[in-house]
Amino acid sequence: MKGMESTLYKASRVFPDCPVMATKLRAMAYNAEELVRLQKNQASYLTQLAARTTPKGLHCLAMQLTAEYFSLQPEERQFPNQQKLHHPNLYHYVVFSDNIMACAVVVNSTVSSAMEPAKIVFHVVTDSLNFPAISMWFLFNPPGKATIQVQSLDNFKWFSTKYDSTLKKHNTEDPRFTSALNHLRFYLPDVFPALNKVVLLDHDVVVQSDLSGLWSVDMKGKVNGAVETCKVNEASFRRMDMFINFSDPLVAKRFDVNACTWAFGMNLFNLRQWRRRNLTSVYHKYLQLGYKKPLWKAGSLPLGWITFYKQTVALDRRWQLLGLGYDSGITRRDIERAAVIHYNGVMKPWLDIGISKYKGYWGRHVKYDHPFLQRCNIHD
Amino acid sequence: MKGGGGGGVSVPGKRRWRGLVIGVLFLVILSMLVPLAFLLGVHNGFHSPNPDGYVPVQHSSVSNGGKDRSTISDADIDPKNDRSHHINDIVTKLAPKFSKVHCIMLLGMLAWHCHALLVYHGLTQPAPWIAQLGHKWAVLPGFHQICNMLGVVSLDVLTKFTNGTENQTTDRNAVHSSQHKKGTSVEPHALLQPPPNTSGTNNVAKVEGTEYVKGGIDENENCELKFGSYCLWRKEHREDMKDSMVKKLKDQLFVARAYYPSIAKLPSQSKLTRELRQNIQELERVLSESATDPDLPPEINHTWLFKFCDCIHCMAEWSTLSRHIKLIFNGMIGKKSQKMEAAIVKAKSFPVDCNNVDKKLRQIFDLTEDEANFHMKQSAFLYQLAVQTMPKSLHCLSMKLTVEYFKSTALDMEPSQANKYSNPLLHHYVIFSNNVLASSVVINSTVMHSEESKSQVFHVLTDEQNYFAMKLWFFRNSFKEATVQVLNIEKFSLDYHDKATLSHMLLPVEFRVSFHNFDDSSTQDRTQYLSIFSDVHYLLPEIFPSLKKVVVLDDDIVVQKDLSALWNLDMGGKVNGAVQFCSVTLGLLKSYMGENNFDKKICAWMSGLNILDLARWRELDLTKSYRKLAREVSVGEESIEAAALRASLLTFQDLIYALDGVWALSGLGHNYGLDIQTIKKAAVLHYNGNMKPWLDLGIPRYKRHWKKFLNQEDQFLSECNIHP
């Protein structure tokens, strides 16, 4: 840079023909600018690409655990304490995930920061592909005194009939949006018929303090307890019409564009109210409607907003801190005092593109000394 | 800050005056200080306890020209602060040279910083260091205010307008009109000095026009080597840029901005100044109105793109990507462009201070280049990442096959013709691979081109991790009448090595070498990807004790001809039939060869397509000599790959039988410049290099030669979303 500067300076002395010099410089500036533009596009293209890949270590881990699982005798594949699974008075946490490490961190962090881990029941739901590996992981690493259950999506016969029939017809390219695991959250009362209240945790969160206080939150008869995202000057700000097409009269009539939005990540669901209001069929209705014309963007969030419209109660903001997967400007203080931190965005902590200064909060719940992780070259 | 500025300007009748005041207000001091502070790394000291203190000084420096300059340092900066004091000195030193032009010039820089601030704030997926950079800027006091004044909407306001595509245009208009209502006539000044995102070719610089393009192409070639298929994607977008109207427009803006400061300095030219200013504003507005970009990935489109597109400067930049722009521009710009042109012609006819124009351009150039380098580094990192990780779809396939394998253990997966495995009369092909798709393509393409697939036996050698998936895959898929055997190499190799050292070299690796090419007069370093034998290759005589000859294929090849002729070659006592690679001689590789004696003129050879005379191999006990060479004291801190390369080249140095060059064409994984006819003629295509055909980054032009041998109807492939 400096070299160039001085060279240019000299040049301008020696070569006083101003217009020529100016055009020359202009040409150079043009080139540099063009370069900037291209590089930017390139970087964003590659970031998207990087988000679509699996680190080799994670792949290796999944493959190894799968092989290991099948070497077990069927009776060795059972988890202990299964009588607790349907006990409505315990703290039931639900995680939908296809990622072993992510899942392990959610479970591990919740249990290790809980005051009464024995009262915790984890329900991990995954797909048939990852079921053996995730089961094997938790057979190897039981979550202390807490109880755990691992289920495969494919065992829910009702789900495939209800959901696939509508979804299969509308195959979009991006698996993120069609992922059945992602939409299973709208069937919680069907997945857990015996339970009245559950906390749904996304697999890209880390729990940092005891969550038992959540269970005594007054939900005011609402179905969904969530952290709101309608503060205008915050990075997490979302407005209804960012994902929902309010130019459609049907939408505009039913919903208020200024209604407060909220986030997934950590949600408290009152399943009893949910069943009473039959919200799953509401969801279904909107899902179908959305196939007919473009009413909202793909993904579970806009559907969540409309399904739980007027059925959501705000949780204190300290329960969940958002943005660790895209916003690199979050302060340490905010992170440390949040009960749950959410790595929403493409820069997941288990990917190389993850924001390095946040990786530690996630990484401290990973058992890097585990032989499987070492064999797969997964390091801190 | 605004309040401070307002103090001097609240009389409605003095609008123009107000513009100057506000302009100079921040410009003189902040503009001066910010870049300087930046350069000197003292931006923390810039925290003045009383920002309003700037106001009177600024005021006087405008109204009195140079007379009051000495007061700048005394009035506005707390002398107790050492750092500020330091800046004071600088300010004082530079003060005599300071003029309004400089102000505006520096405002340009500031605007650029503003723009950068917005970019970095809005960018939702930067590498961590981008963001840190962004925050450094954010803490600079007064930056938001300056942005406001520049007409660059501050972040807080911006977030209000980050709505959907449909609302974008109206929102932006709202921002503008609200500013007009406030009467901040400083906006024109701001518009004069946006960041360097405008330019192009036009009447003023016809000669240089070709030059830009040339520069672009040079860069391109470089990029192709480094960034793979992105380049092609990029070229498509480049087309948009070539739209002559956009270019012309941007160039006009650029020229106008370059002339403006100098013209504005001439008191007699106030009319022309105004004219120029109006034209600039107008074009800015037009450019900004067309900034929706349907081509960008949706996630980007709706989070940060809009955010920072409210910043007018960025508008122009991003809009060039857009297809909309053509429609909009072609329709409405013609007239405006003409006006602008006329204004520029007029401007050119006045003598201007060359130095200023030159300086400003230089700054623009420096800053832009800096930014380009930064993004370049980011891309290089991400590219490496894309190469080193695994596409989710392939992960899915391996997992699915593994799970399925165990669920179907009841099936007997050993085919009935297992006796064929060791029959020395048949044609045996050995493939080392951990990739189901790749090995499948190799086998399929070989079988498709062979006259007699019945006599072909394929041995797929894989590691334990992929063994089950491979096993099931080749049980489910048949390839005409050929036989396929899947073997777990970890079962064999355990007897010979300890697992730790071996795990790295189980499967063949590619060795990337860079060297000067002396034959060529070009001084550029060239990079070649030499794929080499792994340790397990040297176990082949023991793994297949009954076989006399095998053909070894890498998994990144495609066969396009019948290979049976290979079996009738008389190799004249040589062991390894390989295509030589005479652009790389052992002499060129001497830095990898250690202290051994070797003939420098011998050409390097590659793994990929090799016919091995195992009988002769056993006779010469090459495995033993290889092991001895591999164990040799390594040269410095070399990698195991480097040791293996050296050992392999030395082991076979007199034992290579050179296959005719038409047998194999290499480079399809890194070289963009291969000729289509040559590709069609080659018996074997070798995708050595980083851009493997099964990756997203694969070179699209070569991908189809690979893809057509994949059974895309397969249920597993479609379930895992594999569409290479």
- In this prediction, residue B101 has a pLDDT band, given cuts at 50, 70 and 90, of very low
Distance CA A283, CA A189 (A): 13
Q: Residue B194 above 90 pLDDT?
A: no
Bigger pLDDT: A343 vs B643: A343
The stretch B494-511 carries a mean pLDDT of 58
Most confident among A325-334, B104-113, B513-522 (mean pLDDT):
A325-334
Task: Quote the tokens at residue B409.
Answer: 């253990």
Q: Summarize pLDDT for A226-266 with one digit per residue, the tens.
A: 999 988 878 888 889 888 989 888 899 999 999 999 999 99
Q: Summarize pLDDT for B364-420 with one digit per residue, the tens.
A: 666 766 776 766 776 677 776 766 678 888 999 999 999 999 988 766 767 677 788
Best interface-test mutation with A: which of B137, B236, B379, B381 has the largest number of A CBs within 10 A?
Answer: B379
Bigger pLDDT: A245 vs B306: A245
DSSP SS3 for B470: helix
Of the candidates B241, B362, B382, which has its C-beta nearest A46's C-beta? B382
Q: Residue B318 above 70 pLDDT?
A: no
Distance CA B195, CA B202 (A): 20
The overall average pLDDT reported for chain B is 62
Give the β-pairing of A320-321 and A340-342: parallel
Q: Which of residues 77-106 of A touch B (CB under 8 A)?
A: none
Contact A49 B697 (CB under 8 A): yes
Task: Quote the tokens at residue B52.
Answer: 């309003």
Q: Summarize pLDDT for B411-454 with one digit per residue, the tens.
A: 676 767 778 899 999 999 999 999 999 999 999 999 999 988 89
Distance CA B398, CA A56 (A): 12
Which residues of B fall within a CB distance of 8 Å from A41?
A: 234, 237, 321
- In this prediction, residue B496 has a pLDDT band, given cuts at 50, 70 and 90, of low
Amino acid identity for residue B252 in this structure: Q
Q: Summarize pLDDT for A63-116 with one digit per residue, the tens.
A: 999 999 999 998 999 999 989 999 999 999 999 999 999 999 999 999 999 999
Contact B358 A18 (CB under 8 A): yes
Distance CA B433, CA B484 (A): 13
Of the candidates A42, A53, A64, which has its C-beta nearest B391's C-beta? A53
The stretch A20-28 carries a mean pLDDT of 66
Contact A34 B299 (CB under 8 A): no
Element (H, E) at A330: none
For residues B532 and B606, the answer to whether their CB atoms sit within 8 Å is yes
Which residues of A fall within a CB distance of 8 Å from B258?
A: 22, 26
Contact B382 A41 (CB under 8 A): no
Contact B196 A41 (CB under 8 A): no
Residues forming a β-bridge with A199 = A93, A268
- In this prediction, residue B586 has a pLDDT band, given cuts at 50, 70 and 90, of confident
Q: Residue B118 above 60 pLDDT?
A: no
Contact A67 B468 (CB under 8 A): yes
Contact A241 B167 (CB under 8 A): yes
pLDDT of amino acid B266: 67
Chain A CB within 8 Å of residue B126 CB? yes
Min Cα distance A316 → chain B (Å) is 22
Q: Summarize pLDDT for A171-196 with one digit per residue, the tens.
A: 444 444 457 888 899 999 999 999 99
pLDDT of amino acid B450: 92
Which residues of B fall within a CB distance of 8 Å from A39?
A: 372, 375-376, 378-379
List C-alpha distances in Å: B417 to B281, B432, B455.
80, 22, 11
DSSP state of B632: S
Contact B378 A39 (CB under 8 A): yes
Which residues of A fall within a CB distance of 8 Å from B166?
A: 247
The stretch B550-575 carries a mean pLDDT of 93
Percent of chain A whose pLDDT exceeds 70: 86
Distance CA B201, CA B571 (A): 61
Q: Which of residues 249-308 of B touch A (CB under 8 A)?
A: 254-255, 258, 296-300, 302-303
- In this prediction, residue A59 has a pLDDT band, given cuts at 50, 70 and 90, of very high
- Residue in chain A lying closest to B409 (CA): A70
Bigger pLDDT: B285 vs B73: B285
Bigger pLDDT: B608 vs B490: B608
Contact B354 A22 (CB under 8 A): yes
Contact B131 A328 (CB under 8 A): yes
The stretch A352-359 carries a mean pLDDT of 88
Task: Report helix angle A18-51 to B230-241, nearest 10.
Answer: 140
List C-alpha distances in Å: B600 to A189, B387, B588, B591, B593.
75, 33, 8, 12, 10
All structural domains of chain A with their residue ranges: 2-52, 56-375
* Helix, strand, coil content of chain A in percent (nearest 5): 50, 15, 35
Bigger pLDDT: B260 vs A215: A215
Which residues of A fall within a CB distance of 8 Å from B370?
A: 1
pLDDT of amino acid B11: 38
Contact B389 A21 (CB under 8 A): no
Min Cα distance A59 → chain B (Å) is 6
pLDDT of amino acid B84: 38
DSSP SS3 for B256: helix
Of the candidates A26, A70, A326, which has its C-beta nearest B124's C-beta? A326
- Residue in chain B lying closest to A27 (CA): B212
Burial pattern B92-115, b for ≥16 Cβ within 10 A else e, equals eeebeebbbbbbbbbbbbbbbbbb
Contact A48 B299 (CB under 8 A): yes
Min Cα distance B138 → chain A (Å) is 10
CATH architecture entry for A56-375 = Alpha-Beta Complex (3.90)
Burial pattern B347-357, b for ≥16 Cβ within 10 A else e, equals beeeebbbebb
pLDDT of amino acid A151: 95
Q: Summarize pLDDT for A102-160 with one digit per residue, the tens.
A: 999 999 999 999 999 999 999 999 998 999 999 999 999 999 999 999 999 888 887 76
pLDDT of amino acid B218: 35
Of the candidates A22, A67, A175, which has its C-beta nearest B358's C-beta? A22
Min Cα distance B93 → chain A (Å) is 20
Asked if the ipTM is above 0.85, the reply is: no
Task: Quote the tokens at residue B147.
Answer: 């942005």
Task: Quote the tokens at residue B479.
Answer: 């390839």
Of the candidates A343, A88, A306, A99, the residue with the CA atom closest to the CA atom of residue A205: A343
Q: Summarize pLDDT for B221-268 with one digit per residue, the tens.
A: 333 333 333 333 344 334 343 345 555 666 666 666 666 666 666 666
Block residue for tokens 């925290």 = B47
pLDDT of amino acid B104: 35
Of the candidates B159, B361, B398, which has its C-beta nearest A232's C-beta? B159
Chain A CB within 8 Å of residue B156 CB? yes
Block residue for tokens 């489910």 = B476
pLDDT of amino acid B345: 62
Q: Which of residues 256-315 of A touch B (CB under 8 A)?
A: 297
Chain A CB within 8 Å of residue B384 CB? no
Chain B CB within 8 Å of residue A112 CB? no
Q: Residue A211 above 90 pLDDT?
A: yes
Contact A326 B365 (CB under 8 A): no
Chain A CB within 8 Å of residue B448 CB? no
